[in-house]
Structure formats: structure tokens, C-alpha cells
């Protein structure tokens, strides 16, 4: 039985993380790199990393070196990749912790070599190439130079190049022509790397959407982030392979009150009751990561909803720092009734994807930004 509901909580189902990892691994047919950056997309980095490994992920990945070192400090082992290291990054600590760092340029490789002076064992380094996202990664004009420098470092025993990788820009749009261009560019990069004598353990390009929708891009491993947490990486593209959303956000109903026609709700009175109704107060707001535009002026029909007593209740008026007001449509649920802000289908409320559509954003943002003063509780499947 779940403990009494506190002010607000995030419930994370670790069984769902394990099941999603198993499903993604079997679907892709190649090793799974479980991406746990940004505190596990709001689900908790350390706990989700362990669950992903238990579900069959062979690798973990973070964005920053600090995240990677935090995993090591928590006792999480296994292959671990990171791809953002600033000028002051402790590259020696990364090598000592057997974290694979990512280099985009000759200058970064030179910096890694300088940081490892006097070290006996080779460090673990991966190379990222820019195939069309125009974000991180070596541009095509620098590929040959970067690969040649990387090979010299291998010959000198400074590092071992464990991977060459890139990232899609439009994998959630499977028919977008950029996908073919990027995959072709990545294959070109691999040919150039091989010509320079590099034989990386992993060649990886596919993110969650490509891992499911684009088999040709799976190469030696797939990197899955949002799909690991059970959310659709490409809504509208028939990607239902049985992923289970791992996060449920709950809060108690604090107050129920009557409104008369003409009563305005919340700051600015952007919503005014047109008829007698009841409203409820829920103690979550933008300090907890509830998007302020979850209820937009002049777009009441598009407002995000929460679940109370088996019905979806729309947010009314401006989202406040600490609370939201929802339309109960004349009903009077008991104070203390559980409010499902979002969760998996069947949890009694909307999904994170429903919230994303109401807020004009993506499900990644909804789950990653949630938190603030909420507590986080971990459960195993049926304990939800």
C-alpha cells in the first residue's frame, strides 16, 4: 500500500525502466546505451541507471562529466559515456573513473593528452562527428585531421578510441530527408576513420526515435533516453512498441470552493466563470516545474488537465508559483483526494504527452522540468 499522500510527489516505477530497457534492447538487436542525463530526465539519475543496467542496458551515458562522476561516486559501474567537457573539466578524474569522454576537435584531444601526462593506462575516448545537426561534433572539413590525431594518440598509448558517433536532427520525423543525408554522412565518417587506422568498439548514431523507426541506423549500439522512461520519442509516427511511462506526478486536493458567474480566477483574471461552478486548489505550480502556459489566456479549451475522481479537470486561470486552480464543474471531491497531474495511461489522469500537447512543447520538457519542492518516491510495478 502506498504511503499517505504528501503535499506533492513524483512516483517513479523502476520496473517500468527495467522493462523499457529490455524492450528497447530486444527491438534494436544491438547493445543499448541508456541515457540518464538531466537527473534521468527528471526520474532520478542513479536509481534509473541501476534499473536500466538491470534491464539489460550494456552502457550508460550522461551529457556532462560531472553527471558521469556522480554515477561513479554512487557506485554505478560499467561502460559510461559523457559528451560535454568544459575547459576546466577534470579529465584525469574521468580517466581514473573509466569514463569515456568525447572529443570534437584536435584541440580537445590535445587537452586530453596534456591532462593525462604521466598516466600509464590509456584513457577511454570517443569521437563525435557533426553529420548535420550543426551542434557538437567535428565538422566534415575536420574529420580527417581529428581521426589522424586520434590514431596518433592510440599509437602512443595515450588513449583508446572506443567509439565514433553522431546524433540525428530529425529522427522523430522518419520521412525527413535530413535522416538519409545524416546516415550517409556518418557512413562517410566511418570510412575516413577506418582509413586512418581507427577501429572503435562502437559506432553509434541512433537516438530513441531512430532506434525504433530506422533499423539501418542502429550500427553497433543505440542511445535511448526518452524511450527508456516510457515516453514516445516520435508521437504520431506509430511508435507504440509497448513502452511503459515510468513517472506519475501526484498531489492532494487542498480546497474546493464555489464560483458564481463573473468570478475571475488567479492572476490577471484571464479566466472568468460563465456559469456557477466549483473549483479546486492543487499545491503545485511553476516552482515545481508546471509550465505557466499550461493554461493560456483565451485558450481555455486547450488547457492542460489533471485527474480527480476519475475525470479530467482543466486548469483555470494563470498557473501560480505554488498552486493551480482546476475546474470541478460543480462536483465536490473530498479535500485530500489524490490529484493525478500526469502519469501512464490508466493512472487516472492525463499523460505527459497530453501535457506536452496542451503546452505546445515535447514530452521531454514536461518530465525533465518537473520537480522543485516535490518529493520523489521509487516503486516496483504494482506498488504504484
CA distance 286 to 372: 9
Catalytic residue among 104, 267, 364, 378: 267
Catalytic residue among 37, 41, 128, 229: 37
- Edge-first strand order for the sheet with 277-282 is 255-259, 277-282, 324-327
Cα dist from 279 to 147, 163, 256, 335, whole Å: 63, 55, 6, 12
Report H helices in 97-246: 106-115, 143-155, 177-195, 208-213
Spatial CA neighbour of 245 closest among 258, 256, 233, 261: 233
Task: State the cell numbers at 331.
Answer: 462536483
Contacts of 295 (CB under 8 A, 6+ apart): 270, 271, 303, 304, 314, 315, 316, 317, 318, 319, 324
CA distance 263 to 13: 40
Beta bridge partners of 344: none
How buried is 222 (Cβ within 10 angstroms: 0-12 exposed, 13-18 middle, 19+ buried)? buried
Spatial CA neighbour of 46 closest among 78, 22, 94: 78
Residues 13 and 380 sit within 8 Å (Cβ to Cβ): yes
CA distance 100 to 123: 8
Residues 106 and 146 sit within 8 Å (Cβ to Cβ): yes
Report the run of H or E that residue 83 belongs to, with start and end. Answer: strand 80-84
Active-site residue flag, 104: no
Report the run of H or E that residue 124 belongs to, with start and end. Answer: strand 123-128
Active-site residue flag, 37: yes
What residues are labeled active site? 37, 267
Amino acid at each position: 500500500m502506498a504511503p499517505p499522500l504528501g503535499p506533492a510527489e513524483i512516483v517513479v516505477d523502476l520496473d517500468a525502466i527495467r522493462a523499457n530497457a529490455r524492450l528497447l534492447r530486444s527491438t534494436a538487436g544491438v547493445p543499448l546505451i541508456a541515457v540518464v542525463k538531466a537527473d534521468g530526465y527528471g526520474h532520478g539519475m542513479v536509481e534509473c541507471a541501476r534499473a536500466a543496467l538491470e534491464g539489460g542496458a550494456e552502457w550508460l551515458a550522461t551529457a556532462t562529466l560531472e553527471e558521469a562522476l556522480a554515477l561513479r561516486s554512487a557506485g554505478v559501474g560499467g561502460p559510461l559515456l559523457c559528451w560535454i567537457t568544459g575547459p576546466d573539466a577534470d579529465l584525469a578524474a574521468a580517466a581514473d573513473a573509466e569514463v569515456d569522454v568525447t572529443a570534437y576537435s584536435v584541440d580537445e584531444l590535445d587537452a586530453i593528452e596534456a591532462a593525462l601526462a604521466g598516466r600509464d593506462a590509456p584513457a577511454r575516448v570517443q569521437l563525435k562527428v557533426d553529420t548535420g545537426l550543426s551542434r557538437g561534433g567535428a565538422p566534415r572539413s575536420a574529420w580527417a585531421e581529428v581521426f589522424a590525431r586520434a590514431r596518433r594518440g592510440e599509437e602512443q598509448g595515450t588513449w583508446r578510441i572506443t567509439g565514433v558517433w553522431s546524433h540525428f536532427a530529425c529522427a522523430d520525423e522518419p520521412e525527413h530527408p535530413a535522416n538519409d543525408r545524416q546516415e550517409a554522412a556518418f557512413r562517410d565518417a566511418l570510412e575516413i576513420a577506418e582509413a586512418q587506422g581507427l577501429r572503435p568498439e562502437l559506432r553509434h548514431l541512433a537516438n530513441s526515435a531512430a532506434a525504433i523507426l530506422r533499423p539501418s541506423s542502429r550500427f553497433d549500439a543505440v542511445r535511448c533516453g526518452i524511450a527508456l522512461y516510457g515516453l514516445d520519442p516520435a508521437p504520431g509516427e506509430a511508435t507504440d512498441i509497448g513502452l511503459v511511462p515510468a513517472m506519475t506526478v501526484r498531489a492532494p486536493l487542498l480546497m474546493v470552493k464555489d464560483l458564481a458567474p463573473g468570478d475571475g480566477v488567479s492572476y490577471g483574471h484571464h479566466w472568468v466563470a460563465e456559469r456557477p461552478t466549483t473549483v479546486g486548489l492543487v499545491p503545485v505550480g511553476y516552482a515545481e516545474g508546471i509550465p505557466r502556459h499550461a493554461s493560456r489566456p483565451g485558450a481555455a479549451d486547450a488547457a492542460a488537465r489533471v485527474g480527480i475522481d476519475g475525470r479530467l479537470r482543466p486548469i483555470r486561470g494563470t498557473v501560480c508559483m505554488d498552486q493551480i486552480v482546476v475546474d470541478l464543474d460543480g462536483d465536490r471531491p473530498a479535500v485530500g483526494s489524490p490529484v493525478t497531474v500526469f502519469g501512464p495511461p490508466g493512472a487516472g489522469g492525463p499523460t505527459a504527452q497530453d501535457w506536452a500537447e496542451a503546452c505546445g512543447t515535447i514530452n521531454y520538457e514536461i518530465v525533465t522540468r518537473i520537480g522543485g519542492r516535490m518529493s520523489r518516491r521509487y516503486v516496483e510495478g504494482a506498488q504504484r
